[in-house]
C-alpha cells in the first residue's frame, strides 16, 4: 500500500509540473499586438467587435465613466457611447510583464477623438489565454491627473 501511495504522490507532482510547464508562449511583440487588436476593433465603431476582446468575467474600469463594467452587456453599453467619439489610441509608454498564460501591459496612452481632442490616460490591460485566444481579463484606464509643481 505504501508503494502505491508513494507512486501516486510522485505521479501527482510530476503531472502538476508538466501542467505548469505547458504555458502558452507569447512575446512582447505579440502582447503589443493585443493592444493593436483592441485599438483596431475601436476603429470598426462596432461595440460588439470591441467586446469580443474581453473575457466574459472581465472587469473594465473605463476612462470616461465612474461605473465599473462587469458584464459583456455593461461593457457593450460603455463602448456604444465611447465609440461615438471615434477614438483611436496611441501607446506613449508601456511595461509588459509576461507570466504563464497571463500578461500585464501597463503604461500611458493618448486617445485622439473625432473632434481633435486628445485625452492622455494611464492604462493597465491584463490578459489571460482562454478558449484558444488571449482575452482581456481586466482593463483600467484613467485620465492622467494634472501635473503639480
Tell me which architecture the domain covering 27-143 has in CATH. Answer: Roll (3.10)
> What is the model's pLDDT at position 2?
55
Nearest to 89 by CA among 48, 122, 66: 122
pLDDT tens-digit readout, 118-145: 999 999 999 999 989 999 999 999 998 8
pLDDT tens-digit readout, 62-100: 988 999 999 999 999 999 999 999 999 999 999 999 999
Q: Which residues pair with 59 in a beta bridge?
A: 138
User: What is the spatial distance between Cα 79 and Cα 87, in angstroms, rounded to a whole number?
Assistant: 10
> What is the model's pLDDT at position 19?
52
Domain ranges of the chain: 27-143
**Rounded-to-5 percentages of helix, strand, coil across the chain:** 35, 35, 30
Grid cell listed for 47: 461595440
User: What is the spatial distance between Cα 136 and Cα 61, in angstroms, rounded to a whole number?
Assistant: 12
User: What is the spatial distance between Cα 102 and Cα 135, in angstroms, rounded to a whole number?
Assistant: 10
> What is the model's pLDDT at position 64?
86
pLDDT tens-digit readout, 5-52: 555 555 555 555 545 569 999 999 999 999 999 999 999 999 999 999
| SS3 at position 69 | strand
CB 75 within 8 A of CB 55: no
Amino acid at each position: 500500500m505504501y508503494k502505491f501511495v508513494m507512486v501516486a504522490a510522485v505521479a501527482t507532482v510530476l503531472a502538476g509540473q508538466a501542467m505548469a510547464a505547458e504555458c502558452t508562449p507569447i512575446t512582447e511583440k505579440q502582447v503589443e499586438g493585443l493592444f493593436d487588436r483592441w485599438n483596431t476593433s475601436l476603429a470598426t465603431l462596432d461595440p460588439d467587435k470591441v467586446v469580443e476582446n474581453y473575457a466574459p468575467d472581465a472587469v473594465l474600469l473605463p476612462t470616461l465613466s465612474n461605473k465599473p463594467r462587469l458584464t459583456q452587456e455593461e461593457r457593450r453599453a460603455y463602448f456604444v457611447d465611447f465609440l461615438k467619439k471615434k477614438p483611436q489610441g496611441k501607446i506613449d509608454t508601456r511595461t509588459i510583464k509576461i507570466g504563464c498564460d497571463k500578461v500585464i501591459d501597463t503604461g500611458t496612452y493618448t486617445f485622439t477623438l473625432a473632434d481633435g481632442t486628445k485625452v492622455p490616460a494611464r492604462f493597465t490591460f491584463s490578459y489571460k489565454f482562454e478558449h484558444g485566444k488571449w482575452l482581456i481579463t481586466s482593463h483600467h484606464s484613467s485620465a492622467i491627473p494634472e501635473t503639480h509643481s
